[in-house]
Structure 1
Amino acid sequence: MPVIRVAQIMGRMMGGGVEATIMNHYRHIDHSRVQFDFIVDDNSTVVPREEIESLGGRVFTVPAYKHLPAYLKALRTLFAEQKPDIVHSNLNSLSVFPLSAAKKAGVPVRIAHSHSTANPGEKAKTAMKMVLRPFSRVYPTDYAACSNFAARWLFGDRLVDAGRVRVMKNAIDVDRFAFDKTIRAAKRAELGVDATQPVIGQVGRMCFQKNQLFTLDVFAKVLERRPDAVLVFAGDGDMMPQVRERIHALGIERSVRVLGVRDDVNELYQAFDVLAFPSTYEGLGMAAIEAQASGMSVVASDQVPDEASIIDGLVRFLPLDRKDAWVDALASAEPTDERADERDAVRAAGYDIDDSAARLCDWYETLVRKEGAAR
């Protein structure tokens, strides 16, 4: 069978969880069977072009989807020229746009992938999602989602119950997250933290969804109980200025480390004592999976799907209107050089990247064969 070319529609790449999921699979997939092309918006800030090209892939830049006529024209032209076997769109409800262009260009296999949900607090974005959601079944030939919850939110119960949606978990290289005392000591020294200080970590884009401003308000209260506590943010995004302003307004600059986008998140988990995960909505929550692989506890909002809890006792869900409970939970974190090895449990739950990449490769080949047989 010829090598299958898959056009991965990435939108604006900013070093977030969706990009990490697709890149994880790309690193581990059999490139003699499947190759990816990454279609990214021209306002992307974190595009691992060198790595993609070293693995045989390509990067194509198109106008941002907010410039819709130019975006659609560029995609139609690109698809007509490159003739991908599959277009796999990772834009949630916005997938209607690239998949409509793919259909017009005659792309035979078109996958819509649901990575997230919505929250009423994000008014404009949620309104757009609700308008587009009924069209999520118009242009795809096939469907994927990071969780059952995300699948039902975008595609509806009927498709899910009929077995039409493939759950593609946010798989990781589990061994990279194994707890290591030596790495812990080195990273804490890098952060200027001693062995006795509790470290609260949060990993994710700086945006409404990830809710860093909530974490800062809670952390200011944690400091009243634990003056030596430290909060570490890893990630970047449009709300970075607001995050920095809130840190200054609360007067907690000395206790907060803002690291930006990092390529050593797996090592940062070793330095943390608890992961704060107060998302306003999630399709699953990749950071929670990574934290559990490192044996670390997670305090998550009740807007995170239950499917994110895979290790008994490591994930605690709390409502966002109970800041006092968040303060109690985060303030109780204690530094320790001992953690259980949870890697086998994470693998057993279906989050091993080697297995997931192999199954994705098989799925792509099945779809292409099915389409070829139907012609």
Structure 2
Amino acid sequence: MMTLNKKILFVIGNVRVSNGVTSVIMNHYGKLLKAGYQVDFCALYNWGSPYIKTILENGGNYYVLPQENRKDEVEVCGIRVEEERSGAPDKKRAYSFMEKVIKQGNYGIVHIHIIGRYALMASQIAKKYSVPIRILHSHNPVHIHNLHSLLFALYYNTQCVHNCNRYLACSSLAGKSMFGRRKFSIIRNTIDTNCVYYIEEDRTKLRKEFSISSDSFVYGTVCRQTYQKNPYFTIDVFEQIAKNKENAKFVWVGTGELETEIKQYVKEKNLDSKILFIGNREDMAGIYSMMDGFILPSRYEGLGIVFVEAQACGVPVYASDVVPKDIELTRLVHYISLKNTALEWAKTILSDHTNYGDRSQYKQMIIDAKYDRTNNNDLLEYYESIS
């Protein structure tokens, strides 16, 4: 066995709090530090997050690819608590910047959590400079929905797989669709149940903060406004619910590239008073506690960690039928076909009159199902098993 170089570079999109991949990484982060690893990050987007401060305070580097319309190469992102979005990678300068980071970093592990152009770039550079462990991590199944997505997968994914020498996935589905017959390991996306359990006091406090009455029935979701999460359809479903449930409200946690368009869509439907966009939050126990129902009709998911979080807080979950059955850990989960109309989704949701009992009981159910970070196989064990 080789002696493991304990310098890691995570190649990521960003470290926003509401990002599922971020949650996975940060759930393992503390244990890696305690074991003596130096953990650096290279992000595609110059989006702020309170996690950036945590990374820098623990001696890590947080690199951001050069951004379009900026002449300066931003090596260390500014520390911003507000997770505002700005810019996109500059394609012309990205390669030389990433090459500099990987070449000078002397990393033992380059762990790639993204797909596409910049994943391929990272894998090529890591291989060029003989990084011993080059990991491609599949967080979602490969989703082929048109010719462009097919060509994307054939061009980028195939080469990334070839350039890497270790493979990880969050589920069997995500692994098989990305790696085919190659051997891969599964590290389940776990949660910290101490951060997402039912708190009655927080439910009351947050409803007051957002001017939501105690008798309102609050649906919600936690996700990016992006194609994968089917945001327009989510609005369509809630529109049908609101027509039949006068006291219904909807709380959307998260940001994304379609945020502006989705907010405009809500205005056009005159749902401004019913739907609240509250951005990215850290107080997720309170956010889930505030909800009475969780709706997310994803077009595809590798696992869907937010479905597990919602269950830990005792929230009934309404998920699309493409979401892996792995997340069905309690009787709170309901699968609805993506072939159904928004009205049919709404009718199914509104017809659920199940008494789910004391919401505080569900935290232990998630722990017993081994989806709490304290009782699941983790990244540290994986790294040390391949050293």
Task: Give the equivalent residue in structure 1 for 2:77.
Answer: none
What do the CA deviations read for 1:147-183 (whole angstroms, capped 9, x no partner)? Answer: 1111111111x22xxxx31111111111221212111
CA gap of 1:46–1:176, structure 2 versus 1, over 3 A, is closer
CA gap of 1:254–1:69, structure 2 versus 1, over 3 A, is closer
Kindly report the root-mean-square deviation, in angstroms, between the aligned alpha carbons of the 2 structures.
Answer: 2.4
Task: Give the equivalent residue in structure 2 for 1:155.
Answer: 179
Question: More deviation in 256-265 or 92-101?
Answer: 92-101
AA partner of residue 90 (structure 1) = H
What do the CA deviations read for 1:12-70 (whole angstroms, capped 9, x no partner)? Answer: 44442112211222134443432311111254344722111223322122236964553
Task: Give the equivalent residue in structure 2 for 1:278.
Answer: 297
CA gap of 1:75–1:127, structure 2 versus 1, over 3 A, is same
Task: Give the equivalent residue in structure 1 for 2:211.
Answer: 192
Provide the C-alpha distance between the structure 2 equivalents of 1:284 and 1:72, rounded to a whole number of angstroms.
31
Query: Which of 167, 170, 179 does residue 146 from structure 1 map onto?
Result: 170
Report whether the alignment pairs 1:60 with 2:63: yes
For this pair of structures, how many residues does the alignment match? 361
- Indicate the SS of the match to 1:365: helix
**TM-score, scaled to structure 2:** 0.86
Provide the C-alpha distance between the structure 1 equivalents of 2:217 and 2:295, rounded to a whole number of angstroms.
13
Alignment map for 1:1-80 (pairs within 5 Å): 4-15=6-17, 16-46=19-49, 48-63=51-66, 67-68=90-91, 70-80=93-103
What do the CA deviations read for 1:74-95 (whole angstroms, capped 9, x no partner)? Answer: 2222112110110000013553
CA gap of 1:126–1:331, structure 2 versus 1, over 3 A, is farther
Provide the C-alpha distance between the structure 1 equivalents of 2:52 and 2:231, rounded to a whole number of angstroms.
29
Provide the C-alpha distance between the structure 1 equivalents of 2:302 and 2:61, rounded to a whole number of angstroms.
28
Question: More deviation in 44-53 or 134-143?
Answer: 44-53
Question: More deviation in 106-115 or 181-190?
Answer: 181-190
In the TM superposition, residue 268 of structure 1 has moved relative to its aligned partner by 0.3
Task: Give the equivalent residue in structure 1 for 2:279.
Answer: 260
In the TM superposition, residue 191 of structure 1 has moved relative to its aligned partner by 2.2
Provide the C-alpha distance between the structure 2 equivalents of 1:174 and 1:122, rounded to a whole number of angstroms.
38
8 A Cα contact 2:9 2:109, kept in partner: yes
| Structure 2 unaligned regions, length at least 5 | 68-87
Alignment map for 1:298-337 (pairs within 5 Å): 298-311=317-330, 313-322=331-340, 323-332=342-351
In the TM superposition, residue 221 of structure 1 has moved relative to its aligned partner by 1.0
AA partner of residue 136 (structure 2) = A
| Structure 1 unaligned regions, length at least 5 | 370-375
- Indicate the SS of the match to 1:174: coil
- Indicate the SS of the match to 1:177: coil
AA partner of residue 337 (structure 2) = P
AA partner of residue 310 (structure 2) = A
In the TM superposition, residue 218 of structure 1 has moved relative to its aligned partner by 1.2
- Indicate the SS of the match to 2:359: coil
Task: Give the equivalent residue in structure 2 for 1:135.
Answer: 159
The percent of aligned pairs where both chains have the same amino acid is 26
Provide the C-alpha distance between the structure 2 equivalents of 1:247 and 1:73, rounded to a whole number of angstroms.
42
